[in-house]
Amino acid sequence: MRQGLPAVQRALLAAALVLCASPAGAQTAEAPEGASGFAMRPVVHARRFMAATANRHATNAAHEILKVGGTAVDAAIAAQLVLGLTEPQSSGLGGGAFILHFDPRANQVRSYDGRETAPASGKADRFIGADGKLLSYAAAVGSGLSVGVPGALRVMELAHKRHGKLPWARLFAPAINIAQSGFALSPRLHALLARDPLLRGDAAALAYFYADDGKAKPVGTLLRNPDYAATLRTLAREGADAFYRGDIAQAIVAIVNGHERPGEMSGADLAGYAAKEREPVCGTYRLRRICGMAPPSSGGIAVLSMLGMLERFDLASLRPDSTQAVHLIAEAGRLAYADRDHYVADPDLVRVPTQGLVEPAYLKSRSALIKPERSMGRALHGTPPGASVAHGADATIEAAGTSHLSIIDADGNAVAMTTTIESAFGARIMVRGFLLNNQLTDFSWIEAGGETGVQPGSPAAANSVAGGKRPRSAMAPTLVFGAAGKLEYVLGSPGGPAIINYVAKALVGLIDWKLDLAATFAQPHYGSRNRATELEKGTAIERLALPLQALGHEVSVIDFTSGYTGIAMTSAGLSGAVDPRREGTARGE
C-alpha cells in the first residue's frame, strides 16, 4: 500500500483493489473511461477557422491561437496543454499522441507518431509477479510497471517545427493562465473521480482531486494546479528537452521506480525518446479518399479494412438503426479486428503488412466471408499480401482514457489529433502536476499456459512487450477528401479499441446515410471487436438484441464512451460538431 496516506484512505484503496482483482492467469479489463450523460449540442458554423475539442477551455485556447494567426498545429498544441489540465483523465504531458496534418498548398497529408515506448528493460514477463503469477489487470495498471516513456510533448515539438508559426512559448500561455487561476471541476470529471478505485492511492492526486473525507471534490470546485503551471513555464522557456532531461525527467524516473510495484525506467529511456514522422495510410471508399494513421496505430488500417469490406453492400438503402445495418457493420468489424490483432504492432520492430491489409483484392476476399443471413461468430485472421511471419495469439487488454481534437486554420491547414494516457487517469501516478500513462498494459498479456502464463515454445504475439517498443493503438485520427481531392471532413474519437468501430460507423453515416456531423455523432453505437456484438445501453438500438441473436450474434449491451469531434468543409464554410456523450465544444469565426 502506498505510504503517507491516512489510515481511512489506505482502507478505501485496499477495498478497491480487492474489487478489481482477478484470479491468477485470468485477465479482466477495468471499466473504460465511464459514461457521464448525453446532451445534444448544435452544429457550429464559421467561415475562416474552427476548433472542436473535448473541453470548452481547450476549445477556447485553440480559438485564441487561431484568432492571432496561429496555425492548426499551433492551436492543437495550445488545446492539448489545456486538456491535460481540465480533462486529466484522458490525456496530458504524461501520455502520447498521433497527429494527422493536411497542408492544402502542398496538397500533402503527413502524420506524426508520438506513441509511448517501453523502457529498454521491457521484457515479455513484465507483468508476472514475484510469486510467478500474473498480476491482476488493476494491479498492473496502478503501478510503475505500466508507465511508458511519454511521447506527447516530443510529437507536438516535431509538428510545431514542421507546421507551426507562433513562438513555442506563446502556445503555453492559455494553459498556464488556467492552471494558475483555476477552473471549475466539471460534472464529467467529478463522476469519473468518484467512481475510480485507484486514484486515491496516489498522495498528490488524493490531495488535488479529493476532499478530506476521501470523496471527489464537488462539481464547480475551483481547481488550481500550481505544479502544472510551474512545469509548463519551464517547458515554455526551455523547450521539450526540459521534459526529457533534467529535473522533470529525474522526477518521472524517481516516482516510477520508487512505486510499491516499481517500473524500470531510466534517464536514458527519456533522453532517447524520439517522435517520428510516418507515412499515412490512405484508401478509397465510394470515391472518397480517406487517410489515417499507420502502425503502430491500427486505426487507419482497420477503418479502411471495414469500409473496404462494406463497399459491396448497398448501405444507403438501409436504415442506420436497422438489424441488417448493424449485422453488416459488426461482421466487417470482426474481420478487421481479427487482422489488426494478429498483424499490427510497432513497425520498427515487427514486419507489418500494412498495404496488404488494405489492398482492395484482399478486402474483397475478406468481404466474401460476410453472409447477410448469418453471423460468422469469431472471425479468424486472413493472410494478406506481404504477410510472412507467424505471430502468436494476441491477448491485449485496452482501456479508454483518450481525447480527440479537430482543427482547421484560416489557411485551410487541418489537424486531426488523438491523444491518450491509456486508461482513465493512466497509471494513477501524479508528478509535477500531471498524470503518467499506463500505456505498457496496451501490450499483449502473456496468458496462455499454466500459473505463470508462459507457453514455452509458442511464437510471441506481434504486440508483445519488448524494450523500446511502441504498443499497438486503435487511435484513428481521420481526414476525408472528396472526389475532386478537396478536404471534406476532419474527425476522430477516443474510446480505446472501440475507436475503430466509432470512426468507421461515422464515415458510413456521413457518406452513405448523408447525415450531418451532429446527427452522425449522436447515432447509437454498435459493432463488434471480434467478440460479442455490442449495443449501446439506454438507446433505441437495444431493441435489436433479439433479431441479432436470431442471426447468430452473441449480444452485449454496454455503455459506450466515444468522444467525437469533427469539422466539415462545405461550400458555405466550416461546420463543427462534438459528441453529445462528453463535454466538448466547437468554436470558430
Q: Which of 71, 117, 402, 420 is catalytic?
A: 402
pLDDT in tens, the chain (589 residues): 333 333 333 333 333 333 333 323 333 333 456 655 678 888 999 999 999 999 999 999 999 999 999 999 999 999 999 999 999 999 999 999 999 999 999 999 999 999 999 999 877 778 888 888 888 888 889 999 999 999 999 999 999 999 999 999 999 999 999 999 999 999 999 999 999 999 999 999 999 999 999 999 999 999 999 999 999 999 999 999 999 999 999 999 999 999 999 999 999 999 999 999 999 999 999 999 999 999 999 999 999 999 999 999 999 999 999 999 999 999 999 999 999 999 999 999 999 999 999 999 999 999 999 999 999 999 999 999 999 766 766 666 655 679 999 999 999 999 999 999 999 999 999 999 999 999 999 988 754 333 334 454 567 889 988 999 999 999 999 999 998 899 999 999 999 999 999 999 999 999 999 999 999 999 999 999 999 999 999 999 999 999 999 999 999 999 888 999 999 999 899 999 999 999 999 999 9
Query: Which residue from 562, 394, 580, 413 is spatially nearest to 490, judged by alpha carbons?
Result: 413
Within 324-423, strands assigned E span 401-408, 414-422
The per-residue pLDDT for 135 is 83
Residue 300, helix vs strand vs coil: helix
Contact 276, 112 (CB under 8 A): yes
Helical H segments across 128-246, by residue range: 137-141, 152-163, 173-181, 187-195, 203-209, 226-238, 241-244
- Written as one letter, the residue type at 77 is I
The per-residue pLDDT for 427 is 96
Instruction: Give the integer Cα–Cα distance in Å for 416 and 136.
Output: 35
Residue 435, helix vs strand vs coil: strand
Please list, residue by residue across 281-294, b when 16 or more beta carbons sit within 10 angstroms of its beta carbon and e when fewer do. Answer: bbbbbeebbbbbbb
pTM of the shown model: 0.92
Q: Sheet containing 401-408: which strands, arranged edge to edge?
A: 276-278, 108-114, 96-103, 414-422, 401-408, 50-53, 585-588
Is residue 354 annotated as part of the catalytic site, yes or no?
A: no
**β-pairing, 555-558 with 533-536?**
parallel
